[in-house]
């Protein structure tokens, strides 16, 4: 079967067509770079200008980027350091809860395989088709009065950590990874008398480091940028993450200082993704390569 494309190999032999294709590729690439990095770069330069300069000519911020005191004011007046710390606590706790529940559920479904594993897997898959707003009110009422204890988790990090633990997407991708593990290794461990918990801790999890890294990073980024749920359950400013606090402090903060705080809040998850992008790609591809 011949490959089909908008431009055939025969057409690419002609210099004019080849140059035209390269120009189109360059324009598309430049457009994607501008659309993806343009707002972030503008925010970086705008945060180094005064409020008057930003409002007077937003596109001239590239030439007057020398107001480094905006970042000092962000940590002082806005107290962004506290909100960043709260965000780290929320993100790390959500990540740990996500990993514990996802790895445990995937281990039961893919390795232990009880009779009801198929039903459980189908129920988890079905939750992906439900809009998040459907469960918002029941989940909020549960947080306000946790049965059967009758306690409220509002204004505590547990109100964010526990819902983040039940992530159907994380469970399903770990199920797919666990199923790709060599069955001979699992059966050999059972013959040697290895218990279920020891098998999970000493065999399955060490082999699952790539996918665990992917799930952890996705959980951290998701918790970092989440706004709706933390704004409902974390009304106390002492525990609010930066995604909730910034819209509130932006109303009473100088624009240039607010832009500096906004840049700090934005650049951290971007850097996390860029630094660990190789691990993400290798972890996603590890499922198909594990048996090989």
Q: How far is CA 223 from the centre of its chain?
A: 7
Find out whether 203 and 119 touch, Cβ atoms under 8 Å: no
Note the helical H segments in 145-254. Answer: 158-165, 168-179, 183-191, 196-199, 205-207, 209-225, 228-233, 242-249
- Give the integer Cα–Cα distance in Å for 263 and 257: 10
Residue 3 maps to a domain: no
- Pick from 71, 97, 117: which residue ends a domain? 71
Find out whether 143 and 154 touch, Cβ atoms under 8 Å: yes
For residue 46, give the 3-state DSSP assignment: helix
- Give the integer Cα–Cα distance in Å for 256 and 260: 6
The CATH number covering residue 107 comes to: 1.10.3720.10
Find out whether 180 and 288 touch, Cβ atoms under 8 Å: yes
For residue 16, give the 3-state DSSP assignment: helix
- Checking phi first, is residue 65 left (phi over 0); if not, alpha (psi -120 to 50) or beta? beta
70 sits in which H/E element? helix 69-76
Judge if 27 and 87 occupy the same domain.
no
The predicted pLDDT at position 1 comes to: 43
Judge if 17 and 135 occupy the same domain.
no
- CA angle, residues 39, 46, 229, in degrees to nearest 5: 60
The predicted pLDDT at position 286 comes to: 56
DSSP designation for 64: -
Residue 1 maps to a domain: no
Judge if 26 and 62 occupy the same domain.
yes
Judge if 53 and 178 occupy the same domain.
no
**End-to-end CA separation in angstroms for the chain:** 28
Judge if 126 and 62 occupy the same domain.
no
The predicted pLDDT at position 25 comes to: 84
The predicted pLDDT at position 289 comes to: 46
- Give the integer Cα–Cα distance in Å for 3 and 222: 39
Find out whether 174 and 211 touch, Cβ atoms under 8 Å: yes
Judge if 34 and 59 occupy the same domain.
yes
For residue 151, give the 3-state DSSP assignment: strand
**Residue position matching structure tokens 């819209």:** 247
For 86, the domain range is 80-289
- Pick from 71, 91, 107: which residue ends a domain? 71
Judge if 252 and 107 occupy the same domain.
yes
Local confidence pLDDT in tens for the 292 residues of the chain = 445 556 666 666 677 667 777 888 889 999 998 888 888 888 988 888 888 888 888 877 666 667 788 888 888 888 889 999 999 999 999 999 999 999 999 999 999 999 999 999 999 999 989 888 888 999 999 999 998 888 999 999 999 999 999 899 999 999 999 998 888 988 998 898 889 999 999 999 999 988 998 899 999 999 999 999 999 999 998 999 999 999 888 888 889 899 999 999 999 888 888 887 777 666 655 555 455 4
Judge if 41 and 174 occupy the same domain.
no
Q: What is the pTM of this model?
A: 0.83
Judge if 209 and 132 occupy the same domain.
yes
Provide the residue count of the chain. Answer: 292
Judge if 92 and 61 occupy the same domain.
no
Judge if 52 and 104 occupy the same domain.
no
The predicted pLDDT at position 50 comes to: 86
Q: What's the structural domain count of the chain?
A: 2
Residue 139 maps to a domain: yes
CA nearest neighbour of 264 among 248, 242, 247:
242
Q: Measured between alpha carbons, how far is residue 61 from residues 49, 58, 95 in Å?
A: 6, 6, 38
Judge if 64 and 201 occupy the same domain.
no
Find out whether 102 and 218 touch, Cβ atoms under 8 Å: no
């Amino acid at each position: 079967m011949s490959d089909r494309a908008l431009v055939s190999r025969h057409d690419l032999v002609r210099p004019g067509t080849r140059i035209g294709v390269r120009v189109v590729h360059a324009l598309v690439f430049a457009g994607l770079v501008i659309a993806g990095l343009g707002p972030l770069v503008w925010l970086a330069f705008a945060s180094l200008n005064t409020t008057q300069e930003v409002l007077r000519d937003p596109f001239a911020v590239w030439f007057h980027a020398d107001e480094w005191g905006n970042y000092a004011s962000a940590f002082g007046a806005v107290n962004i350091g506290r909100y960043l710390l709260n965000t780290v606590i929320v993100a790390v706790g959500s990540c740990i809860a996500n990993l514990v529940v996802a790895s445990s559920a995937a281990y039961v479904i893919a390795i232990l395989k009880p009779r009801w594993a198929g039903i459980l897997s189908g129920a988890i898959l079905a939750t992906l088709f439900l809009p998040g707003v459907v469960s918002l009110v029941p989940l909020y009422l549960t947080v306000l009065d946790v049965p059967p204890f009758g306690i409220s988790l509002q204004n505590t990090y547990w109100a964010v950590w526990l819902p983040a633990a039940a992530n159907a997407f994380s469970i399903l991708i770990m199920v797919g990874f666990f199923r790709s593990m060599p069955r001979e290794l699992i059966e050999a461990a059972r013959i040697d008398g290895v218990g279920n918990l020891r098998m999970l801790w000493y065999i399955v999890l060490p082999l699952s480091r790539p996918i665990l890294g992917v799930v952890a990073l996705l959980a951290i980024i998701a918790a970092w940028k989440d706004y709706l749920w933390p704004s409902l359950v974390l009304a106390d400013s002492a525990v609010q993450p930066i995604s909730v606090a910034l819209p509130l402090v932006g109303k009473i903060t100088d624009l240039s200082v607010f832009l500096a705080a906004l840049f700090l809040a934005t650049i951290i998850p971007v850097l996390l993704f860029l630094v660990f992008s190789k691990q993400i790609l290798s972890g996603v591809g590890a499922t198909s390569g594990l048996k090989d």
